[in-house]
A and B are shown apart, each in its own frame.
Chain A
């Protein structure tokens, strides 16, 4: 009996212990910040740009290395290492002059030779950075590098914004990932695989000195991240809509707008072969309801793969939600509601679809369920099914799938819509505009050509874009997070793109 009472008391004290507020900080280091990221943000190949650090689907600034260009807050192009850039009239050479007196953290000077070496090495490594359009990079003198292209590629400045420059003389692919030497704002102080990364300000940095001298990054699952915040062990931690109904003393919720979209492809071999039906579905989806239901309001309606990017055409957003008109369009197309409310056409059968989502992705599962509910209102039966990525890619041409895209380059749109895509979709007018946009030598002009291409997309629906998912973070009161550009797909490193400008009040 006494034992039971003791156990009960012990359990009670544990419970009470959980409820106490995080210990008051005594003296906070005003130049350090601790950030929690998802475990898959930890780069497997280390911090080596040649093997994909900073690039790929979840692109972000490499921090440890400098890039030639950067993306501005409005996602136009600015300069980092580059002082000027110029494309030849045929678009087949890019000449970039780089700034002088930049040093790697090992004291050697960064010259055009290092730039050329990095690009050639990354091209040969064939990692996530797509450099198939680069024939070779050549250092003409110490400050001029010339890129010889295999085909015109107007969005080259966006590629240059993701590839960090490594030192030619000391680079060794075997050890560089764990011991990177760069010229960026930070140096890698410590990396405990599977646990944390510690970055320290690079005192020899050529630009403005980082305000945050020390950045600790921890890798944790989402629920562990919440516990870390509750225990006061982190200053900023990622979270998602499923967790945001909690409140944590001393922390507030930061919601960052993104181009991290979710959308569903409508397959061409199914009853959605008719563009009128695809258009009807596009206007019959209540995106705001989806945001309220699934994202607890933390999102924005999506109408394209590149909402609010400089190359985005708002004509795509001119889709009024109108379920009645959508129904009328479906009626016109010959699909009339049957006895159970599901539409039928005698020669085709019932309006039925399966919606794939990657098993284990709760957000996409919920979106698929909500989409299925809304499609039922339209008289279309859609059954969500969680499968692995192999199945998803293999069957994308005939099975609608909840996709997530959104990148800081128009190549996303090219990959989805240009002939040769995995959906078996081909549209010659659209191809022509996009090819012209790539062949163009003026970046500003190319934006308008990408926008022209989207006019074709508006006429012929392949994807129904659903939502842009806000990226949510717990932020300790007093921490000022500098203004964020629209985050691309991926809820990891994007937030620390400008960690050097963060400050404590």
Chain B
């Protein structure tokens, strides 16, 4: 159906643009967003400050954008890293089999057996928190499900008649991978990676919210939300509402794009 292709393409372009814009604007505003100006503290949302200001007179729009930008960058980095990790380990399982498969599968089971948030907190604290603590925490806890998917997919393909034929005809492993495996794996892998984004962003925000992630002077959504908790009772609703909504929007955007891509790329539904 043409419609889905078109609308998906539009959505993807729109989402990509929006996210790039947020990431860029946030990165540009990051240095100014943390500056306290006590002459304008606790202002409700208005024309000068669309999202209001906090108890230190920091502009909440700037902080929110900077926070989202940081989240998106962490999300991109973690999605790429954990995607690469799962691709490498997943195919290694399928191709080498034997004890390699057993070993990696055991690690996958182990990591999946621990609740994500707990594992991220442990890794983040062990790595000294901050940007790299959170990034490593999310990467090391999020590669498993994709790795398992890649492994099963590859295993199945490895036994497919045309691939066995190709190998018997003398094609090298690299050639088989490049010519026959990659085109099949790619759609699954791409959607998997895109769907990692919202996970990564939400986990980054929640770990930071709980105080085990980014440090409080960094403009992160988790920091903003945990700070705002103390001020809800005093009626400063804007401190939590707008940053929270923006986070939901960004996550929803990523999730929507991932879902559409899956429908479009997956052979079973691509022709619907």
**Contact yes or no, B230 A222, CB < 8 A:** yes
Q: How far is A360 from B231 in the complex, measured between Cα atoms in Å?
A: 14
Q: How far is A362 from B236 in the complex, measured between Cα atoms in Å?
A: 16
**Contact yes or no, A385 B215, CB < 8 A:** yes
Q: How far is A385 from B41 in the complex, measured between Cα atoms in Å?
A: 20
**Smallest CB gap from B58: residue in A:** A369
Q: How far is A381 from B123 in the complex, measured between Cα atoms in Å?
A: 33
**Smallest CB gap from A230: residue in B:** B233
**Smallest CB gap from A227: residue in B:** B233
**Smallest CB gap from B218: residue in A:** A386
With A222-B230, A223-B234, A242-B234 given, is the CB distance from A359 to B211 under 8 Å?
yes
Judged by a CB distance under 8 angstroms, whether B171 is at the interface is no
Distance in angstroms from B221 CB to nearest chain A CB is: 16
Which listed residue, B56, B229, B230, B233, touches A366 by the CB 8 Å rule? B56
**Contact yes or no, B216 A365, CB < 8 A:** yes
**Contact yes or no, B216 A360, CB < 8 A:** yes
Which among A245, A359, A369, A372 has the highest number of chain B CB atoms within 10 Å? A369
Judged by a CB distance under 8 angstroms, whether A293 is at the interface is yes
**Smallest CB gap from A355: residue in B:** B217
**Contact yes or no, A223 B232, CB < 8 A:** yes
B residues 221-268 near A (Cβ < 8 Å) are 227, 229-235
Give the size range of A's interface with the partner. Answer: 20 to 34
Provide the A188-219 mask, 1 if CB < 8 A to any CB of B, else 0.
00000000000000000000000000000000
Q: How far is A359 from B216 in the complex, measured between Cα atoms in Å?
A: 6
**Contact yes or no, A385 B38, CB < 8 A:** no
**Contact yes or no, B227 A385, CB < 8 A:** no
Judged by a CB distance under 8 angstroms, whether B36 is at the interface is yes
Judged by a CB distance under 8 angstroms, whether A499 is at the interface is no
**Smallest CB gap from A292: residue in B:** B38
Which listed residue, B41, B55, B211, touches A362 by the CB 8 Å rule? B55
Give the size range of B's interface with the partner. Answer: 20 to 34
**Contact yes or no, A370 B38, CB < 8 A:** yes
**Contact yes or no, B215 A223, CB < 8 A:** no
Distance in angstroms from A226 CB to nearest chain B CB is: 5
**Contact yes or no, B233 A387, CB < 8 A:** no
Judged by a CB distance under 8 angstroms, whether A393 is at the interface is no
Which listed residue, B55, B217, B231, B233, touches A385 by the CB 8 Å rule? B217
A residues 220-266 near B (Cβ < 8 Å) are 222-224, 226-227, 242-243, 245-246
Distance in angstroms from B223 CB to nearest chain A CB is: 9
**Contact yes or no, B38 A294, CB < 8 A:** yes
Q: How far is A384 from B58 in the complex, measured between Cα atoms in Å?
A: 14
Q: How far is A387 from B230 in the complex, measured between Cα atoms in Å?
A: 19
Which listed residue, B36, B211, B227, B234, touches A243 by the CB 8 Å rule? B234
Q: How far is A243 from B41 in the complex, measured between Cα atoms in Å?
A: 13
With A242-B231, A243-B234 given, is the CB distance from A387 to B215 under 8 Å?
yes
**Contact yes or no, A365 B56, CB < 8 A:** yes
Q: How far is A21 from B231 in the complex, measured between Cα atoms in Å?
A: 21
With A242-B234, A246-B234, A360-B211 given, is the CB distance from A369 to B216 under 8 Å?
no
Q: How far is A384 from B230 in the complex, measured between Cα atoms in Å?
A: 21
**Smallest CB gap from B216: residue in A:** A386
Which listed residue, A242, A245, A294, A384, touches B217 by the CB 8 Å rule? A384
A residues 342-370 near B (Cβ < 8 Å) are 359-360, 362, 365-366, 369-370
Other CB < 8 Å A-B pairs besides A293-B41, A369-B36, A369-B56, 15 of them? Answer: A223-B230, A223-B231, A223-B233, A223-B234, A224-B233, A226-B234, A242-B231, A242-B234, A243-B234, A293-B38, A365-B56, A373-B35, A373-B37, A385-B217, A386-B215
Identify 16 residue pairs between A and B in the complex whose beta-carbon atoms are under 8 Å apart, listed by A's number.
Answer: A223-B232, A223-B234, A226-B234, A242-B230, A242-B234, A243-B234, A245-B42, A245-B234, A246-B234, A246-B235, A360-B211, A362-B227, A366-B36, A373-B35, A373-B38, A385-B215
A-B complex: 5 closest residue pairs judged by Cβ atoms:
A293-B38, A223-B233, A369-B36, A386-B216, A359-B216
Chain B positions within 8 Å of A, measured between CB atoms, are 35-38, 41-42, 55-56, 211, 215-217, 227, 229-235
